[in-house]
Amino acid sequence: MNQAPCVSCVMPVRNGRAFIQEAVTSILSQDYQDLELLVIDDGSSDWDYRELEQQDSRVRVIRLEGRGVSFARNTGIAAARGRYIAFLDADDYWFPGKLGAQVRYFENHPEAGVVFGGFVRWYPDTTGHFTPPATLAHDCSQTTKANPERSGWLYSRLLQGLLVGMNTAVVRRELLERIGGFDTARRLGEDYDLWLRASQVTELHALADTLALYRIHSASAMHRPEERNGLAELLVSAKERWGLGNAQGPSLQPAEFACRLGQVHFDHGYTHYWHGSARVAQREFTAAFLAGFRRGRSAAYVALALLKALGQRQR
């Protein structure tokens, strides 16, 4: 077997032929070439993804039978040979120079277990087509500094809503081994759960740059409102497990956490009010009211959601 690469890139895919080539190209064309790409085909029926192995000797395809994205990512981690693990979904895109900038940052900052960065939401135009990614990207190769507001011991910041983009993150392998990878029992918020666990044992640093495109389309998670409020469940679980802070970083005040939890309930209710179930919206607005979040507005939406739910039942 060839010498192990420095970075292993893990890409889960399920019926993603329409977009995967752009994602693969964005990895293989990085100026940092000491990498392997593990494509985890999780039960696709639209193509034989093993054909990607013909494009480059650094590509390996592993076939699963519909085990879910967390299992797919864990499979990639287990098969990876690199000392750093990077992630990219099959419909997204890395900017040039992104990977090299992160590896160099790791080498200069041994205290960081995760290095991530910003991303841009990539929407289709009115005809349903996406702007070519190369016209939206910029070269990140000269990026060397982190954003101090988004770097360090981030547990309390994560509770407040700091977003770590999965498709921008590179993680030290030993950290993933220590915290156990992704929780395959969790259907919602598996990446947020990973970062909360990581934040208990390491610093997370955000490069002061935009590193990737996040494609928004009809199959994206952002377009499928779930009945369960997975984010609220994660916040409550984190508070029960670790409290509102840890020894290394600042803590939230109980009122701050209550406000954050109330907003999460309100936002989930608002999504369902307009794009999902009025019954779920009523439940979530009620939870926001009980948490003390914008009580007047929450109460108004409880009433509106109740009326809408009654109307849906009558139809």
Both 283 and 244 in one domain: the answer is yes
Residues 303, 175: one domain? no
Boundary residue ending a domain (169, 192, 219) = 219
pLDDT at 195: 98
Please indicate, yes or no, whether residues 174 and 273 belong to a single structural domain of this protein: no
Cβ atoms of 230 and 187 within 8 Å: the answer is: yes
Q: Which of 77, 47, 51, 50 is nearest to 61 (CA)?
A: 50
Does residue 210 lie within any of the structural domains?
yes
Note whether 162 and 241 are same-domain residues.
no
Answer yes or no: do 32 and 161 share one domain.
yes
Prediction pTM value? 0.93
Is 57 within a domain? yes
Q: What is the pLDDT of residues 52-64, one digit of tens each?
A: 999 999 999 999 9
Regarding whether 136 and 54 lie in a shared domain, the answer is yes
Number of domains in the chain: 2
Based on the domain organization, do 101 and 238 belong to the same domain? Answer: no
pLDDT in tens, the chain (315 residues): 578 999 999 999 999 999 999 999 999 999 999 999 999 999 999 999 999 999 999 999 999 999 999 999 999 999 999 999 999 999 999 999 999 999 999 999 999 999 999 999 999 999 999 999 999 999 999 999 999 999 999 999 999 999 999 999 999 999 999 999 999 998 889 999 999 999 999 999 999 999 999 999 876 554 568 999 999 999 999 999 999 998 888 899 999 999 999 999 999 999 999 999 999 999 999 999 999 999 999 999 999 999 998 877 765
Is residue 26 one of the residues assigned to a domain?
A: yes
Q: Is 1 inside a domain boundary?
A: no
3-state secondary structure of 206: strand
Closest CA to 133 of 19, 12, 16: 19
- Residue 192 near residue 231, CB atoms below 8 Å: yes
Could you tell me if 193 and 107 lie in one domain? yes
- 162 found inside a domain: yes
Range of the domain at 179: 7-219
The pLDDT of residue 51 is 97
Residue pair 7/34 in contact by the 8 Å Cβ criterion? yes
CA terminus-to-terminus distance, the chain: 64
Note whether 305 and 165 are same-domain residues.
Answer: no
224 lies in some domain: no
pLDDT at 222: 47
SS3 of residue 138 by DSSP: coil
If asked whether residues 192 and 254 sit together in one domain, one would say: no
Structure tokens at 211: 């590193």
Residue 225, domain member (yes or no):
no
Residues 114 and 236 in one domain: no
Tell whether 171 is covered by a domain. Answer: yes
Domain boundary among 167, 184, 219: 219
Q: Spell 267-294 as b/e; 16+ CB within 10 A means b.
A: bbbbbbbeebbbbbbbbbbbbbbebebb
User: Domain boundary residue among 179, 194, 219?
Assistant: 219
Same-domain check for residues 182 and 236? no
**Short-list 132, 108, 110, 92, CA closest to 9:** 92
Task: Find the CATH number of the domain harbouring 39.
Answer: 3.90.550.10
